[in-house]
Structure 1
Amino acid sequence: GFSLLLFSNKIVEVFQAGNPTIYLTIGAVLVLFAALVLSQAKKPKIGLVLFIILQDFLWVLGSAVIVFLKPFGITSTGHQLIAVVAFVVLFFGIGQSVGLAQSGPMAFMEGKKEKGMKQLSYQRIIKASKEKVWKAVSDVSNYHKVAPNIDAVEIISGEGEGMVRSCSHKTDSWTEVATLWEEGEQYSFKVNTEAEDYPFPLQYLTGNWKVEEIAENQTKITMTFDFKYNKKIQSLLVHPFMKIKFGKICRELLDNWQAELEQ
């Protein structure tokens, strides 16, 4: 960016295309973009990081079009410079994507650190007694009434630990079994991701719902999900968007519980 601002006339001579104003404008935009990248290095926000990654890959795509189609009559040296910069930007874009995909605490499965495991956790403090909150959170047969990503729930068998339930959303459905049930405290479900008709790109998925009293009539709900994608490339490409979408779903779920319990 600064190179374009400081040496715009020289760059015009090298590229033999355009005028200094064009390169000054591009340079100013790149300097602002660099400032955005630096700000996210300290306190990253998923939405802005995704925006940066998208701009990186769009830059590479645009550079490829210029290098291979040669629409502007740029010199051979100019095309080579564009290609070199594109490779550098591609390197950063891939690095940012990998970093974002690997962000978040690692989960543990069956007591062993499992490569590729992801974990997402969401919390909310509710102004209600622990007993009241537990009654709502543990009403797993009516989970679809508060969860925006589930249309229907059916208890197939059992209760407490060992319970099997079926969940559905639109045309998709899956089953899950309760692997933990501590009455008044917490419970966990493990999804049957091995079913042939399981609709999501996951090979492992568990969820834990926990309630903790932090003060009189103040209770914290914690939801923690441990999961692993079917393929490594999905961890790279799907996970950043999964974090945003699933985060929105869980916040809406917590909003619904909070509205119900604090009314």
Structure 2
Amino acid sequence: MPRSATARIFLKLNSQFSALNGLALLIAGGLVAPVLTANPVDWATMGLRGLGLGLLGFALVLYLLSKNKFVSRSAVNEIVILDALWVLGSVGLIAFFGDTLTTNGIIVVTIVAMVVAFLAIAQFAAASKIQKPVPIASVETREGKLYATVKRTVKAPKEVVWNVMTDHPAYADVADNISKVEVLSGEGLGMKRRCYGPKGENWEETCDLFEPGHSYGFRIHTDADDYPYPFEELSGRWTVVEHSVGSEFDIEIVATLKGSAASKWLFATMAKPQFKAILIDLADAWADRMEREAK
């Protein structure tokens, strides 16, 4: 499990600080301008409000990153660079344009820069502790479809891995987004099962691919009147192959979203880190069980 908790705490603090400053500039730009600048010009208020909007956008990006349990070290360090640029810009503003600022303005710019510098240093230190997860996961959009995949090696024979993967009721024990799985009828190709979400929402799935000992797939009945999610089509593939360490399994989820182009883009953007986190957690939990049963 990547040790990202500390980095996400400082990202959240940075988000809150940026949002607070952004709101102050956006709402009270007219009042702030004469406090900061010695000779306020007509465009100063609009400039401060524009800066406020930028800070609010930055705060949103930080908030989304802070919610991603598997935020990468590089993503955190990109924020560190942006914070460092803010600090350097503040130093340059005071050094070369200090005569345009009031005494209070210099104090405010200095304090804000010091807080940003502290957050940058804290984020950089915390980012160094982030470990890359063992499962290799990706979520991307291609040709109007969302592709979510995860691959993981496991120290267990292929037969053990296959048995764990096809233990459908136990799937709920390792998948965070599933609370219960019921086999309704059949086995192998054509088997039907019902899955339940964490809030009791449920849907039916039919096995449309079955290669014993190797792979299987399910098509989710998204056309049902009571289907709870905004997918027009949804299917999954689970595969296991032999590997030098034992075995390797992978999962691929393919989804076609409902709605307009804008709503699809927004949902895909928001869902990508969640899909990735779910798949990584699932792969790790499955691998843990597989390796325990292999002993």
Structure 2 residue aligned with 1:160: 188
CA distance in 2, matches of 1:196, 1:233: 24
* Counterpart selection for 1:145 from 173, 196, 219: 173
Q: Which amino acid aligns with 1:65?
A: I
In structure 2, the partner of 1:132 is 160
Quick one: which amino acid aligns to residue 72 of structure 1?
Answer: V
C-alpha distance after superposition, 1:88-139 (max 9, x if no partner): 77899999x9xxxxx94445xxxxxx42x11111111011111111111122
Aligned to 1:182: 211
Alpha-carbon shift at residue 65 of structure 1 (Å): 1.8
What's 1:257 paired with?
A: 286
Taking the aligned partners of 2:33 and 2:52, their CA distance within structure 1 comes to 18
Measure the CA separation in 1 of the matches of 2:254 and 2:285.
23
Residue in structure 2 matched with residue 44 of structure 1 by the alignment:
none
Identity %: 29
Counterpart of 1:159 in 2: which secondary structure?
coil
Which residue does the alignment assign to 2:257? 229
Work out the number of aligned pairs and report it: 201
Task: Name 1:82's counterpart in structure 2.
Answer: 48
Q: How does 1:14-25 map to 2 (within 5 A)?
A: none
Distance verdict in 2 for CA 1:91–1:149, change over 3 Å: closer
Q: Does 1:72 align with 2:32?
A: yes
**Counterparts of 2:216 and 2:255, CA distance in 1:** 17
**Cα drift, residue 83 of structure 1:** 4.5
**Equivalent residue letter for 2:223:** E
CA gap of 1:158–1:60, structure 2 versus 1, over 3 A, is: farther
Using a 3 Å threshold, how does the CA distance of structure 1 residues 197 and 64 change in structure 2: closer, same or farther?
A: farther
For residues 164-200 of structure 1, the C-alpha deviation after alignment (integer angstroms, 9 at most, x for no partner) is 2111123211111112111111111121222222222
Q: Which runs of 5+ in 2 are unaligned?
A: 1-7, 35-39, 65-137
TM-score (norm 2): 0.56
- The structure-2 alpha-carbon separation of the partners of 1:151 and 1:105, relative to structure 1 and needing over 3 Å to count, comes to closer
Partners of 2:51 and 2:288 in 1: how far apart? 52
Say which is worse superposed, 123-132 or 144-153, in terms of deviation: 144-153
- Aligned position for 2:248: 220
* 2:237 and 2:251 in contact (8 A); partners too: yes
CA contact (8 A) 2:26 2:53 kept: no
Q: Closer, same or farther in 2 for the Cα pair 1:166/1:62, shift >3 Å?
A: farther
Cα separation, partners in 2 of 1:242 and 1:78, compared to 1, 3 Å: same
Moved more, 155-164 or 204-213: 155-164
- One-letter amino acid of the structure 1 residue matched with residue 26 of structure 2: A
Q: Aligned to 1:202, which of 231, 234, 239? A: 231
Amino acid at match of 2:44: G
**5+ long unaligned stretches in structure 1:** 1-46, 98-102, 108-113
Q: Distance in 2 between matches of 1:92 and 1:72?
A: 20
Corresponding position of 1:211? 240
Taking structure 1 as reference, are residues 182 and 166 closer, same or farther at Cα in structure 2, changes over 3 Å only? same
2:150 counterpart letter in structure 1? Y
Specify the code of the residue in structure 1 equivalent to 2:153: I
Q: In the alignment, which residue of structure 1 is the partner of 2:93?
A: none
